[in-house]
Structure 1
């Protein structure tokens, strides 16, 4: 099991424990395929902990379209959804390994960051290995649409990271540039998760687009909200943005309204999807970002 590192019993973890356990089981199965590898133990370490927000969104998006729980689906369909959920989480994990190196973060989820435990060289190689696993999972789905969305997300995440590096170095940033960074670096994977969930559920074009927009808008809101909570690191992009403002408190209020606006826009995208099943209501609840606490 991947939950060897104790989860904090937050309301979020307790509420979605059934989903998280199944996502973890699927992730474990994927990693066990590489028990022969030098990367096996580092992989297990890298994937421990976390709320599994992105794969959870994929699962809920699929259930929203199918109007039933994944556990009640044909086993082959359910296995496919959970397998791609693992790919989404692995793509997030790969980005976390890189981010912690770039940001010089030494702690991740209450434990030594990956590069602190295994070193920089092993971290780079492990992230590359993870990308190979993602490609393998994608190939098994035999769905070019899923492969395309995973690829797009990976490219956008890298673009966002590169843009952030340039902006931090220049110590000058506009609010538009900040949004552009998080739209690529963070929101692209939220978008991919929701969109792929709709694709795997054979949603129509309108449903797929609505859920893709929902994921993107929620991802932007999520990152702004997260940055507001923890903006004391002087090297972070949001902190630079705050320092440029003559009145910090007023600017923080403006950014709080900004993330609330994005959250509301995300919620409105869900209204484009007919019906009001349990999974859709949960996605609506998630637009209240305090639910992630």
Structure 2
């Protein structure tokens, strides 16, 4: 059985208050559509998430000095974008379990899954319009497109006989890291950061996202028929692949921590640094 389906949220211990506020913001957002056909299915889809992307957004805003309701609204948009991608990814990957329960497509069927993804994009656009900041809307749009590009690239590469580490990193950048990057960047924008601070936090998010995905792949490699498995299978010595992955993991995690030096010291920056523990779990 896939380990990730039984993993307790490791963020609860240190970030319970933040996660509670994010969950409340998501609940309030969904209640705007309580009469919709999508209300109950979306409640189901959003249950049990770690909320790491919203958390990065909130802490990035706080690290600059300003975190208001707009930041929590934006955190909902980021989590909804992740949720939409999970719904569709689970169909593509033929998942049979997600967060200790049926994946969305098994619970509600393929048609509802596809239509729900469309509805979620509408929710994200609505939130973006309320934030009244064209830059945030552009970041969310670019992120959605890049995540889709990453999924397409991965789908093509899974049938290729010549997958490289560069291919693997590119897919991670597009599918995973771009959402982490957007979360940090949007938080910095809403926090009123300078361009240097915005770029530094964006770089933090991107590097953390890559490290986070590498760690996840290292822990789940034997349970997922992904690009990492292809790299292992084509290698004459799988240990070389694992060693290179662990080096990459440490490199990207350290890069993420280094970029935070451009952010003023304080509780929020310390919490962003502590989030990097998620990339350094035992593998």
TM normalised by structure 2 equals 0.94
Unmatched 5+ stretches in structure 1: 1-6, 71-77
1:171 deviates by 4.1
Q: Give the conservation status (yes or no) of the 8 Å contact 1:285–1:291.
A: no
CA RMSD of aligned residues (A): 1.6
Aligned to 1:213: 203
Aligned to 1:35: 34
Q: Give the conservation status (yes or no) of the 8 Å contact 2:70–2:131.
A: yes
Q: Give the 4+ runs in structure 1 shifted more than 6 A.
A: none
Query: Are residues 1:278 and 2:267 paired?
Result: yes
Measured in 1, the distance between the counterparts of 2:47 and 2:220 equals 23
1:233 deviates by 3.5
Query: Are residues 1:197 and 2:187 paired?
Result: yes
Aligned to 2:18: 19
1:10 deviates by 4.8
Measured in 1, the distance between the counterparts of 2:165 and 2:47 equals 34
Of the three residues 80, 92, 103, the one matched with 1:90 is: 80
| Cα deviation code 1:154-196 (max 9, x no counterpart) | 0110000000000002243100010000100000000000000
Aligned to 2:212: 222
1:290 deviates by 5.2
TM normalised by structure 1 equals 0.91
Q: 1:9 to 1:223 in 2, by over 3 A?
A: closer
1:207 deviates by 0.2
Q: Give the conservation status (yes or no) of the 8 Å contact 2:211–2:279.
A: no
1:292 deviates by 7.4
Aligned to 1:116: 106
* 1:108 partner SS: coil
Aligned to 1:4: none
- Count residues with an aligned counterpart: 277
Measured in 2, the distance between the counterparts of 1:269 and 1:186 equals 19
1:8 deviates by 6.7
Measured in 2, the distance between the counterparts of 1:141 and 1:218 equals 26
| Cα deviation code 1:55-78 (max 9, x no counterpart) | 000000000011x7x4xxxxxxx2
Measured in 1, the distance between the counterparts of 2:241 and 2:280 equals 24
* 1:288 partner SS: helix
Measured in 2, the distance between the counterparts of 1:231 and 1:9 equals 19
